[in-house]
Amino acid sequence: MIRDILHRIAERWPCRVVVWPVVVQGEQAAAQVRAAIEGFGAAAPGGPIPRPDLIIVARGGGSVEDLWPFNDEALARAAAASVLPLVSAVGHETDTTLIDLAADRRAPTPTAAAEMVTPVFADLAAALADYERRMIACGGRMVEHRRARLAAAVAALPRVTDLLAIAIQRLDIASGRLTAALGACVAAHRHDLASIASPLKPALLQRPIEIKSARLADAGARLSPAVRRRLAEAADRLATLEKLRASFNPDGPLGRGFARVHTADGALARSAASLKSGEKLKLVFHDGDRAAVVDGAPAAPAPAAPRKPRLVPPDQGRLF
């Protein structure tokens, strides 16, 4: 019986078959079949026991006593509660047990159960080939239908040359008019320019210049002596202020051979006593700067010359 099922499955749809061996008659048959159904249902995908897609409970024909374990209530409840699809193929077509009524499908024989759960590979291949052929034919008909509709739409559309003919004609007319209009415009402006430029002569501009120059000379000649004197005095004060400004320029004496002494921080050295031996200095001349270092101790100041007593004539009185 098991060989018939395996052979029939191999012929129709070669696949992996997991066999859970149990006794199919006797006192232990019902418990073992129930354990097999529950064990397949509890198997995890990818576990040590492969989880099947469906379960076939099958055995060959026999007497009522031989098939009696399949009338067990607990087995029938386990078949009804199975999480996997269950096909019952117990006995021959005329044999009926409780598991046949609790299963998802009932097969008349074990061989029929194998045929029920497996398709024919050749039939599927032929059906797929037919579907492919029909899909290609439908796609071809759809493309031809769309091509015919597109051709009809294109035929109804006007040609591009017809759409642009009027615009091209208007552009040609405008281009011809534009050339003539530009020539006429240039000629009109040339005539206006010639009519305006003909009266223009250098003498017209020279005469106003001569008049304004004569007026300016006459105004200068009529300046009063007082105004001239005040202008001369202002010029003298301005020259005096310029000399004073030049005398206050700190760089003026540098051109006469003097030098300005600065300390390292840029301050002006005003006395020799403020400088220390070894201190760095900067000497500023009229033509550039030079670095220097203080050498030696400061010299002792020279004694002041005694002031001569002021003689007062004896006959001269005192104010205080």
- What 3 state SS string does 258-293 have? CCEEEECCCCECCCCCCCCCCCEEEEEECCEEEEEE
The predicted structure's pLDDT at residue 77: 95
Confidence of residue 148 (pLDDT cuts 50, 70, 90): very high
Cα 36 to the center of its chain, rounded Å? 63
What is the predicted pLDDT for the residue at 177?
87
3-state SS string for the chain? CHHHHHHHHHHHCCCCCCCCCCCCCCCCHHHHHHHHHHHHHHCCCCCCCCCCCCEEEEECCCCHHHHHHHHCHHHHHHHHCCCCCEEEEECCCCCCCHHHHHCCEECCCHHHHHHHHCCCHHHHHHHHHHHHHHHHHHHHHHHHHHHHHHHHHHHHCCCHHHHHHHHHHHHHHHHHHHHHHHHHHHHHHHHHHHHHHCCCCHHHHHHHHHHHHHHHHHHHHCCCHHHHHHHHHHHHHHHHHHHHHHHCCCCCHHHHCCCEEEECCCCECCCCCCCCCCCEEEEEECCEEEEEECCCCCCCCCCCCCCCCCCCCCCCCCCC
Burial 52-77 (b: 16+ CB within 10 A, else e): beebbbbbbeeeeebbebbbbeebbe
Tell me the C-alpha distance between 34 and 147, whole Å. 64
Does the pLDDT at position 190 exceed 70? yes
Is pLDDT above 90 for 81? yes
Q: pLDDT at position 320, please?
A: 47
Strand-pair category, 260-263 with 280-285: antiparallel
User: Mean of the per-residue pLDDT values for the chain?
Assistant: 84
User: In the predicted model, what is the mean pLDDT of residues 50-73?
Assistant: 89
Q: Is the pLDDT of residue 218 over 90?
A: no
198 vs 243 pLDDT, higher one: 243
Highest average pLDDT, of 27-31, 61-65, 152-156, comes from: 27-31
Q: Are 104 and 57 in contact (CB under 8 A)?
A: no
Q: Is 235 exposed, middle or buried (0-12, 13-18, 19+ CB in 10 A)?
A: exposed
Residue 101: its pLDDT value, please? 92
Q: Where are the domains of the chain?
A: 2-122, 255-293
**What pLDDT sits at residue 309?**
59
- For 219-266, write each residue's pLDDT tens digit: 777 767 777 788 889 999 999 988 888 777 777 777 777 888 888 888
How does 6-17 read in b/e, with b if 16+ C-beta sit within 10 Å?
A: eebbeebeeeee
Question: Is residue 5 predicted with pLDDT exceeding 70?
Answer: yes
Lowest-confidence range among 35-49, 87-101, 126-140, 219-233? 219-233
Tell me, what's the pLDDT at 248?
Answer: 77
Q: What percent of the chain has pLDDT over 90?
A: 26
- What pLDDT is stored for residue 147 in this prediction? 93
> In this predicted structure, what is the pLDDT of residue 285?
87
Q: Which of 94-98, 122-126, 244-248 comes out lowest in average pLDDT?
A: 244-248
